[in-house]
A and B are shown apart, each in its own frame.
Chain A
Amino acid sequence: MTATDTHIASQPSPDAATVAAVQPALSIGNVSHSYGPRRALIDVNFTVQPASFTALLGLNGAGKSTLFSLVTRLFGIQNGQIKIFGHDISRTPGEALRLMGVVFQPRTLDLDLSLTQNLLYHAALHGISRREARLRSAEVLSRIGLADRAGSKVRDLSGGQMRRLEIARALLHRPRLLLLDEATVGLDVKARADILDHVRQLVTEQGIGVLWATHLFDEIMPGDDLVVLHQGRMLAHGPMSRVIADAGAQDVNTAFMRLTGTATLTGKPPT
C-alpha cells in the first residue's frame, strides 16, 4: 500500500461510509429495453448490495450485455431507472460512473500501448493526476503479478493476463461497484479460477459490490446472490439457496433448467 493509500485508509470519508451502509450498490428498477420490435429486457428489477457477489446468470442472448450497456450508460435508458449508490445513471451519470468499475466482455485494452500506458490512460479519464496514477499503476501491477511486464505491449500478454489487467484497470479509480460481463470467456480452467478467486477476494477484503454476468454454473458459489435472466425477463432473484429451494431443485443447474423451462412453456416467469 502506498503512502497515499495509507492516508486515505486512515481517514475514511464518513459520507461514503454512510451512503454505502444505506444505499444498494446497484439498483435496477423496472428496466425494459427494445431493439426495434425485439424486446431485449422486460421489467427487470434487482439490487446488488455492497460487499456482495451477485451472479447474473443467463444463456447467450438473455440480455446480460444489454443490461451492462444500460448500467454503464453506453445505451440510453428507454424505461425504468438505474441507480448506483443512489445516483441515477441518467440524471447524474458522472457521480454514478465514478463509483463504478467495469470489465466488458470484449477486450477494451489498447494492444499497442504498454500495460502502464493503458493504466495511465484510464486514470486520466477519471481525472487522477499523473503522479498518483503512476503510484497506483505500479501498485496494481505488482498485486496482479505483472510488475515485470509493466513496459511490455499488451498484445504480448496471454488472455488471462489481459483479463487480470482489465480488472486491475477497472479498480484503479477505487470504485465501490464492479461489473464484469463474462470476464472468463475464452480462458483456460486455471485462469478462470484465478480470476474468480481474485474477484471474490475484492468482495470480502475491500467490500466492493460485484455483479458478475455469466452463463457458467460452476462460477456460482452457495453464498452468492443470484439473478436469473432469460429471454430478457428476470425469472428469479435472491440468495442462491432460496432460488434453488423456490425452484424445487437440488442444485443451481437444475433450478436454472426448471426456471427457464417454465418460462419457455408458459412464456411467463414463475411466481
Chain B
Amino acid sequence: MDRQQEFVLRTIEERDIRFVRLWFTDVLGMLKSVAVAPAELEGAFAEGIGFDGSSIEGLARVFEADMLVLPDASTFQILPWRGESPGTARLFADIRLPDNTASAADPRFVLQRALTKAADKGLTFYTHPEIEFYLFEQRTSTDTPPVPVDNAGFFDHVPHGTAHDFRRAAITMLESMGISVEFSHHEAGPGQNEIDLRYADALSTADNIMTFRTVIKEVALEQGIFASFMPKPLANHPGSGMHTHVSLFEGDRNAFHEAGAPYQLSRTGKHFIAGILRHACEMSAVTNQWVNSYKRMWGGAEAPAHVCWGHNNRSAMVRVPMHKPGKDQSTRIEIRSLDAAANPYLAYAVLLAAGMKGIEEEYELPPEAEDDVWSLTDRERRSLGIDPLPASLDHAIHLMENSELVAETLGEHVFDFFLRNKKAEWAAYRDQVTQFELDQYLHRP
C-alpha cells in the first residue's frame, strides 16, 4: 500500500467525495464503470472489488471465477462535470483474477504487458495523439445525415462560434482533470475539431484518451450539441483520425534521435518504422477497428491508405516530422493510420510490438515515398513496392487472423474474442441493404 493510495483516501474525505467510479475498458474500447462508495475504496485498493464480468464485451470468463477490479491510485481524478459538492471521482482500474494475477481479458493489461516487454529492453514508449472529432447539432435519430454545428474550415477562426466556445470549455475541463492539451484548432470538415494531448507514456496516454472522449461528450451535452469520434461520419468531408506521434526513450535519451543522420533519425528509429510498416496490414483491424474506419482510410486526402513513410509527406502512413534544431529529445514519428474510434490500449500495444519487432529483427527501412501517394497510379505504386492497407474490415480481419504478432501481443483470449466480434460486425454490416444499392439496382434490368 502506498502514499498515493493514502492521498486518494484523504482527498476523498477532505473534498467530500460521495461517489467513486472505477473505470475500465472493454475489448472494443468502450469505457465501463463500476461505482463504489468511498468507504469501500480502501478495501478495493487492498483486495479489489468483485464483479461478474461475463456480461461485458470480451471479459467473458477466462476462468470460472468472479473477477476483481483493482483501482490504480495514480489515476485518481475528481470529475469536474458533476458539480462541486457532493463530488464524484474516478480511478482507472486493472482487472484481476481472484489470486491477484492480471486478467488476460483486460486491454489495459495487454498494453502493460507490451510496455513491460519494451521496458525489459530498457525502452519506454511515449505517445502524443492528435484527436479529431465532429460536433453536430443535437438530434435523436440517425435516419438522416448529422448536421455539423458550423461550416468553417481548417484553422478557421469562427467568431463566437459554437466550436470555439466548445474547445475553450473542453480544454478547461481537461486541464482540470490533469490532462494537458498541447494544441487545438478547427479542422478541415465542417464542425470538425482537433485537440492534441501532450505527450506522455503510452499507458497514461491511453487512459487520457478514454477520459478525453468522455469529457468531450460531456461538454458537448452541456452545450446542447453532441460530439462524435466516428471515423467517417460525413461521406463528403474528411474523416476523424487519431494521428499519433510516438517515440522511444532509453532512460532520458531519445532512442530515435541521432545527430547528423538523415532527418536526425537513429537506426533504432528506422527499424521501428520498418516494423510498423511491415506489420501495418495485419494490425489494421486493431488500429482501425470498425466497418466505418475503412471509409475514412480510403476516402483520400490526408487519410493514408498505403503502407509507406515519408518526410513531411501527408499522404504517407508514417511521417517523420521536420527536426527542430536543439530539440533532440523531440525526435519522433507520426503514425497517421489510427482513427479516433480505436481502443487506444490495444492499438498502442500492437504499434509498439510491431516497432519493437522491427528493432529486434533489424528490419530494413524501405525507401522514402516522396510523392503524394494518392496521385500515383496503381501500377506506379506497385512498381515502387507500396502496398495498400486493407480495403475493408473483412480484409483486415482476414489478415489479422494469420498474424502471429497480433496474437502474441493481444494474448490468445483477446485475440480470439476480437476476431469473433469483428467477424460478427462484418456479417451484420454485409446483411444490410443500403440506400446505395436501392438507388443503383432497384430499377436495373
Whether chain B is bound by chain A comes out as no
